[in-house]
Amino acid sequence: MKLSAAASAAAAVGLGVKSPQAMAFNASIAQLISIDPVTLSYAVYGPCCYWCQDYLIVTHYQPVALIEVIKGGGDSVMGNTIGSILSAGRDDNSYTSMQVRIWELPEWAIDIAMAYQSCKLCGVDMARTENQTSQSMTDFCGAAANTVISKATEQFNESMPDCFPKLIYSTEMDPTWNTGCRDLSIATGLGLLECNTFTSSFNLFGQERCIGQWGPLYPRQMASHDDNAAIAAGIAAYRAIHVSGFAIGSFPFNAALSVGKLQQTAPHVTVGFQAGSLALDLAMRAYPVSLAEIYAFVWWAPVGCCKTYDEVMGMCEPNMTCQ
């Protein structure tokens, strides 16, 4: 069964113990997080308050979620063993579908990516928020699927060790992803909406109609007609974020297009920009597409907090929780 396979795979890679397999798995996840000054946008301001001069106000973008976009069952940017867990019982050898998995980034992986200096960041918990879910009155298939998806995701996470990244959403558990039936009424109403810089500037939180210059957001499903495979993967990545954030409500960070940053981290690394923006589009098109048709993206959310002077200016203690 799928859940017993999950537990077996976790044991196989040595999760939760200090073994060579666990160390290699930890490193593979951390390598999918690329932190650069532009994407991070780290800024330090004055003291947090008059009586707390040793605490400084810090704002930056926080890496919060890893999005893997794959073409067939068993594929994964974290290794085929992990991919086979969620793809059990699926036959995608034809590679005609594009599936997406969204994982919450664990603090220990961010610490490795930050060269063990993550104490300077506000942390994933500071980025948590609730997205205002919206559902069409005619979205019967989506309403039915959401309960099943939430239950399956919960069971999967309960079966995995504490150190394993938390699954937020997987299109392999969502029967509406292949058909886009949850958005048929919206897509029909929009018709042939032309998405460009002008029309994309009118997006409201959760009410986006276009993914910037990448084209329509709806219907939120696997199909994309973009002639560049990397851009098609980016479209699928944001559609999945939008579904989990504004339809299911499982995405615990701000999923609004105009708020977060999307960064490609595999097979090539770009700077993070708004999804569908000209800057991200040019950055992704500058590299060859993935011959394996496997892509990884990281979602960044803005945060602000107070950090001690020593945390900002000094050296951090490594986060050894799961290493």
| 235-249 confidence digits (pLDDT tens) | 999 999 999 999 999
Q: 79: phi > 0 → left, psi -120 to 50 → alpha, else beta; which?
A: left
Q: CA-to-CA distance for 186 and 105, rounded, in angstroms? A: 32
| 140-187 confidence digits (pLDDT tens) | 677 788 999 999 999 999 998 888 899 999 999 998 898 878 877 665
What lies within 8 Å, CB to CB, of 246 at 6+ separation is 131, 132, 133, 134, 206, 255
**Pick from 101, 122, 155: which is nearest to 44 by CA?**
122
Give the tokens for residue 183. Answer: 């958005």
Helix 140-159 vs helix 2-12: crossing angle, to nearest 10: 40
Q: CA-to-CA distance for 127 and 116, rounded, in angstroms? A: 20
Asked if residue 247 lies in contact with residue 198, where contact means CB atoms within 8 angstroms, the answer is: no
Give the tokens for residue 54. Answer: 């040793």
Query: For the chain, percent helix, then strand, then coil, each to nearest 5?
Result: 35, 20, 45
Q: Compute the C-alpha angle 285/293/89, nearest 5°.
A: 150
| 274-320 confidence digits (pLDDT tens) | 999 999 999 999 999 998 889 999 999 999 999 999 999 999 998 76
- Reduced 3-state DSSP string for 89-150: CCCCCCCCCCEEEEEECCHHHHHHHCCCCHHHCCCHHHHECCCCCCCCCCCHHHHHHHHHHH
| 30-50 confidence digits (pLDDT tens) | 899 999 999 999 999 999 988
Give the tokens for residue 70. Answer: 């794959």
Cα dihedral 194→197→200→205 (10° resolution): 170
Per-residue pLDDT at 11: 41
| 110-143 confidence digits (pLDDT tens) | 999 999 999 999 999 999 999 988 765 456 677 7
Instruction: Please state the length of the chain.
Output: 323
Cα dihedral 113→117→119→123 (10° resolution): -20
**Mean predicted lDDT score pLDDT of the chain:** 83
* Spans of all domains in the chain: 63-105+128-304
Q: CA-to-CA distance for 99 and 233, rounded, in angstroms? A: 9
**Pick from 290, 248, 293: which is nearest to 145 by CA?**
248
